[in-house]
Amino acid sequence: MIVTGELDWTDRSVFVTGATGLLGGWLVESLVDRGASVTCLVRDEVPASRFHREGIDAKVTTVRGDLVDGVLLERVLAEREVRTVFHVAAQAIVPVANRNAMSTFDTNIRGTWLLLEASRRSPLVTEIVVASSDKAYGHQPVLPYTEDMPLQGRHPYDVSKACADLITQSFASTWGVPAVITRCGNFFGGGDLNFNRLVPGVIRDVLRGRPPEIRSDGRAVRDYLYVQDGAEAYIALAEALRTDPSLSGRAFNFSVEQPMDVLSVVQRILDAMGTDLVPAVLDSAPNEIAEQYLDASLAREQLGWYPAVGFDEGLRRTIDWYSGHLGSDP
């Protein structure tokens, strides 16, 4: 087993894509707390993001640009003398991918290979962590998902993550690019501004005093991982790769391993918020796989990673964050 959490990040030059997103903000904050010198690629100004709202941006170097600008990526990696890359930027909203697949493919697939190519041409880069997803597995006849299962996503978002995952494996196998892959369930936590996602959407509805709307039929079973546990998983995997370069090209699942159906998650939120509001089940979400959840035993055994927060405590922290930032104003 590789023991992580003991490596020095002080003044280490780190590049993070997707810093204004849910995971990105928490990951950047954790890296800064470890003393890393962090450079973030930011495409759009998102004033409401934790990255800006909580002053994380003041502690890092921000580069304005698009992930599909390969020249920019190569320049930043060279000029900032980057050693570690965390690639978490993506178009991550499934309904958006279903409506506008081309922009999703462009960002999630082309953006990934451009960043990997820039990293291949940057000799100082020694570890790259690329975000895949449990969605990359698609429908499987046996659950939970394990890392040796084929990637067989069928719908636009799922396919984009499967492609990015396989491209990362290709760069590692063909050119020895030092890259590893994360496959996580559904992140939740304070700072998620995509309110069509289940957890923030329900919390906001309750704070507004209206019945929460459930897009699906409520029976879909999913993994839920608190975002700080997710950020620590990414850092643990980067440390493992730094310690053992032979991990390059491998993927790891990260999960609390407590799959829940949508209505159960909603009820736990309603109970925690002390409301008797009744959810409205719309059953309007297309292309939903009935059950998706992960086996994280490989991460436990080889990385020594365990979730430190868990679902219930993470949910309490998440509700507290939105209560403080949204209040009850209409």
Overall average pLDDT of the 256-282 stretch:
96
195: exposed, middle or buried (Cβ count in 10 Å: 0-12, 13-18, 19+): middle
| Residue found by looking up tokens 């053992």 in the block | 244
**What pTM value is reported for the model?**
0.95
**pLDDT value of residue 310:** 85
Q: What is the pLDDT of residues 195-249, one digit of tens each?
A: 989 999 999 999 999 999 998 899 999 999 999 999 999 999 999 999 999 999 9
Looking at per-residue pLDDT, the higher value among 2 and 19 belongs to 19
d(CA 19, CA 302) in angstroms, rounded, equals: 28
Catalytic residues: 157
Print burial letters for 257-272: b (CB count within 10 Å at least 16), e (below 16).
bebbbbbebbebbbee
Q: 13-193+225-257+293-310, which class in CATH?
A: alpha beta
Closest residue by Cα to residue 162 from 142, 185, 188, 134: 134
Query: Is the dihedral angle over the CA atoms 74, 76, 77, 79 positive or is it negative?
Result: positive
Whether the per-residue pLDDT at 4 is higher than 90: the answer is no
Domain ranges of the chain: 13-193+225-257+293-310
